[in-house]
Amino acid sequence: MGVGMDSCVLPTRHRGYYLVQTTDFFYPLVDDPYLQGKIACANVLSDLYAMGVSECDNMLMLLGISNEMTQQQRAVVAPQMIKGFNDLCKEAGSSVNGGQSVLNPWFIIGGVASAVCSKDEFIMPDQAVAGDVIVLTKPVGTQIAVNAHQWLEQPKYWSMIEKVITKETVVQAYNASMYSMARLNRSAAKLMHKYESHGATDVTGFGILGHLRNLASNQKQDVSLCIHTLPVFGGMFAAAEAAASAPDGINFKLKEGFSAETSGGLMVCISKEKAQGFCEELQALDGVPAWIIGDVLPGNKTASIKPDVKIIEVENTSLPPYSQ
């Protein structure tokens, strides 16, 4: 099968069974070490979920503990981060059995997720056809939400956005994005089979358009993928625009589709007739909305965002806290 976009998909020596595997790690981006552990676990597992694999057989944990922290700080932070990672792994129906821990200057957490599957348990991300639509399962704007929250204590940066957003909205967006990042895409992976998805990818560090371009380039048919709608955490679009236009500002390139995300949603190519049912059932299962954000068109395996892309302000208080 070669290499999948989000996970490798390799035939094993046992006829009819494949190894679907992925690895990922990154640095902490939220203040709560327990939720950071959950976010790291969710981020790793999303690569399996993007392949339609809803069952992970084993997880390895990769942990770098900062030697620049005091012993007391390490004694508090490391166990909480490990617990968050383990707890979400258990919720995903898997467990951590091994890994590697090291001392180094940076705190790092991540893992390796592995699943042994028959061919009907995964969906290769190359089956999109013209007439399909693209569904997104989480809002974008996590990078802006995390940065804006940090800027509350950094007057130089807060001054760039204070005219377009309140501190209360920043806190709400930060909390909503934090819980969103800690939420599994597992239900979406299961529904990809029920609604006969033609492929998917998750939205992480390359931004929504970066990942859509990867998805487009892997298609078997001559199609292009076009985004017409961007659901964004409340207030974060205005904050991103203000930060970009400020003197010596920061351009997150949110509207252009290149703002980095962490543990974002899945972008799923699915027939137009089945997309609404997918969205409605996902909301019933997870209690959060999904959106039809784009179209699969005849084309040359490229991806784009419409110049007049519609921005949906997702109410931060409408996204329930991730309480498990």
Last residue within a domain, chosen from 121, 148, 181: 121
* Other Cβ atoms within 10 Å of 154 Cβ, number: 10
Last residue within a domain, chosen from 92, 121, 150: 121
Last residue within a domain, chosen from 121, 156, 176: 121
Q: 99 and 166: one domain?
A: no
* Other Cβ atoms within 10 Å of 256 Cβ, number: 14
Q: Are 79 and 44 in contact (CB under 8 A)?
A: no
Ordered mean pLDDT values, 10 residues apiece, the chain (324 residues): 70 94 92 96 97 97 95 95 97 96 94 96 96 98 97 96 97 96 97 98 95 95 98 98 95 97 97 98 95 98 97 84 49
Q: Are 49 and 266 in contact (CB under 8 A)?
A: yes
Q: 144 and 116: one domain?
A: no
Q: 140 and 248: one domain?
A: yes
Residue 238 lies in domain: 132-318
Q: 300 and 253: one domain?
A: yes
Q: Which two tokens stand for residue 303?
A: 């991806």
Q: 31 and 146: one domain?
A: no
Residue 324 resides in a domain: no
- pLDDT at residue number 126: 94
Residue 2 resides in a domain: no
Q: Which two tokens stand for residue 271?
A: 């027939």
Q: How far is CA 76 from the centre of its chain?
A: 27
Please state the domain count of the chain.
2
Tens-digit pLDDT profile for residues 17-67? 999 999 999 899 999 999 999 999 999 999 999 999 999 999 999 999 999
Among the listed residues 59, 73, 287, 302, the one whose alpha carbon sits nearest the alpha carbon of residue 180: 287
Per cent of the chain over pLDDT 90 is: 94
State the CATH number of the domain containing residue 190.
3.90.650.10
- pLDDT at residue number 169: 96
- Angle at alpha carbon of residue 134, lines to 255 and 225, rounded to 5°: 70
279: which residues sit within 8 A by CB, 6+ positions away? 135, 289, 290, 291, 292
Among the listed residues 69, 68, 95, the one whose alpha carbon sits nearest the alpha carbon of residue 82: 95
- Integer-rounded Cα radius of gyration of the chain: 19
Residue 300 resides in a domain: yes
Residue 126 resides in a domain: no
